[in-house]
Structure 1
Amino acid sequence: MSILTDYCLWTGQRVNRTKSAVLFSKRTPTSTKSRLAKLLGCCKVNELEYFGLKFSMRRLKRLDFAPLVQKARDHTLGWGIRHLSMAGRVTLINSVLLPSAVFQMTHTIIPKIVLNDIEKLSRSFLWDKDPSHRGLHYASWEDVARPRCKGGLGFHASVKWIGALWARIAWNIIGSPLGLLQRCLSLMVWRSLAPREGSREVGR
């Protein structure tokens, strides 16, 4: 409670408890959940959404990202395929469709099948002349995803971004050993800021 109180004093903001919720780990005892929720004045939830991100203590599935795929599909229908040149389609794919999942990929683990769904929408948007009729694909996705200097259209393969985004998170942890995320992970996994080499916790 003191953290929230100090935050409100420093920023001049107030916590809207009617719109706030608290998410607990599955290992938290029921009595502790009820006591903390009552103390905070917030309701208990099993899942919550924040800025379009779903937070849950379970592994997110394909169905959880259905709104993301639907939003990409709505984009393709709203743009109107017939009235766009090939260059216009390429620009929209590179600037809107493929990057649409990057924000969520930075914060959550997205199943590869979801990224494949978005790439499938991008392929259809690129080649199909009508949303209801499949057009002739003149080149494979692997070819058009190559850099322009190698004869491709410069599309970014979303699946290949996963490793780079996770590596950035790891680099931030290494570069800021006293950061908030590092300290939280230390308490949750390592139990100390300097885990012993070869310990079981480090392997996890």
Structure 2
Amino acid sequence: MFSKANRKEVVEVKQILHKFCEWTGQKINYEKSMCLFGKHVKRRNKRRISNIMGFKQVKEFNYLGIKLALRRLRREDFQFIIDKSMRKLNQWGNKNLSIPGKITLVKSVLLALPSYHATHSLIPKRLLEELDRIYKNFIWNKKNGRKGLHYISWPDLCKPVEFGGRGLHSNISKTPALRARIAWRFINNKHSLLHLIMASKYGEKLERGYSNCCRSTAFKLLKEGLKMLKPIVR
């Protein structure tokens, strides 16, 4: 839930939650409820609002698997994607898999792991490059971990089957297309919370994709998605 950081609005939010609990019989779990304040909210105001709601203050938290923070996310925040990929590779490493089998596993399982986070967060480019390198080595390396001969380059593997590739895709080249889905939602649903907030804040800057107007993560995600849509949408 979103609100201005003033006492009047926070009291109204609390009343709404109280009525909802009365009507439905459900209860709020105060141990799992948190308040995340903007950078310009004063410390005394933060403490007062937190006491009214009964929620603890945090500087960052996970919501639907996405980390929300008031700082720029670093590579370490996405290390879990590499760790998850390595766990799966260690499970498969003991099996005697053929190259087509490895390509199928990379295509159907591994390449899907970073998709959700790459869509909604600014994952560092180096981490995406590292994931591509890990998947490439898994396909060509031998069972005992020794390096194998790379018969086909990674860009050629990422081409469609009808063009001589294997239908894989690079994490770096796929990310703008994933963010185009959010941009299309922004364009198509002008009554959504996303459109109302972003359009009122950035206006024409968002449509034109000005790069130096701000450093907002949401702006950059939408800008990249709009750039992907521009050649194919009128």
Q: TM-score, normalised by structure 2?
A: 0.75
Distance 1:131 1:45, change over 3 A: farther
Q: Which residue of 2 aligns with 1:175?
A: 188
User: For residue 121 of structure 1, what is the amino acid of its counterpart?
Assistant: I
Q: Which residue of 2 aligns with 1:84?
A: 97
Q: Percent identity?
A: 36
After superposition, what is the alpha-carbon deviation per residue over 1:154-177, rounded to whole angstroms, capped at 9, x for unaligned?
101111122222222122112111
**3-state secondary structure, aligned to 1:121:** helix
* CA distance 1:8–1:179, change in 2 (3 Å): farther
- Change beyond 3 A, Cα 1:35–1:179: same
Q: Is the 8 A contact 2:141 2:148 kept in 1?
A: yes
Q: Extract structure 1 runs of 4+ deviating beyond 6 A.
A: none
1:16 equivalent to 2:16? Answer no
Contact 2:96 2:143 in 1 (8 A): no
Unmatched segments (≥5 aa) in structure 2: 1-12, 214-234
CA 78–56 in structure 1, closer or farther in 2 if over 3 Å, else same: same
1:12–1:88 CA distance, 2 compared to 1 (3 A):
farther
Is 1:133 paired with 2:150? no
Deviates more, 1:156-165 or 1:139-148: 156-165
Q: Deviation per CA, 1:169-193, whole angstroms, max 9, x where unpaired?
A: 1221121111112223345x24xxx
Distance 1:5 1:106, change over 3 A: farther
Structure 2 vs 1, CA of residues 115 and 8 (structure 1 numbering), >3 Å: closer, same or farther? Answer: farther
Q: Which runs of 5+ in 1 are unaligned?
A: none
CA RMSD of aligned residues (A): 2.4
Is this contact kept in 1: 2:157–2:166, CA < 8 A?
yes
